[in-house]
Amino acid sequence: MLNISPKSGVCQAARGRRAVAIINQILILFFRELKMLLLPLWLIHSAPDHKHFSHRRLTVHYRRRIKLVKAVWLGVAAILLVLPSPAFAVPLCLFSSFLSFSILDEHQ
């Protein structure tokens, strides 16, 4: 017969929680090292590198432009839900694509 006292159950639960915490720390370290090995340095650091071509994606100004483009496309989608004519949808989508590229263009 197996006698399990409440005291030993608490101790086993604490050991189990400690083991899970240790495994979590090991996994976090493993994936951090894997990220350092596989990803390029400019993608690991969140600070924009002005020498790299994609530094504009990390700036506040570009993120504002992305929000504006999303608003334009949401407006176009709302208009297309109201007027679902293909003769109206195609030119509107082409114009909104042009407008999106114009907004995101970084040349002034």
Structural domain for 25, as ranges: 1-38
Q: Is the per-residue pLDDT at 40 higher than 90?
A: no
**Two structure tokens written together for 30:** 């493993």
The domain tally of the chain equals 2
pLDDT at 69: 96
Residues whose CB falls within 8 Å of the CB of residue 100, separated by 6 or more in sequence, listed in order:
69, 72, 73
Residue 1 lies inside a defined structural domain of this protein: yes
**33 and 62 share a domain?**
no
Q: Which of 86, 64, 89 is nearest to 77 (CA)?
A: 89
Spatial separation of the C-alpha atoms in residues 76 and 83, rounded to whole Å: 10
Residue 71 counted as domain residue:
yes
12 domain-assigned? yes
> pTM (2 decimals)?
0.52
Q: Are residues 55 and 96 in the same domain?
A: yes
pLDDT at 2 over 80: no
Task: Grade residue 41 by pLDDT with cuts at 50, 70 and 90.
Answer: confident
33 and 55 part of one domain: no
Could you tell me the pLDDT band of residue 57, with boundaries at 50, 70 and 90?
confident
Asked if residue 43 is part of any domain, the answer here is no
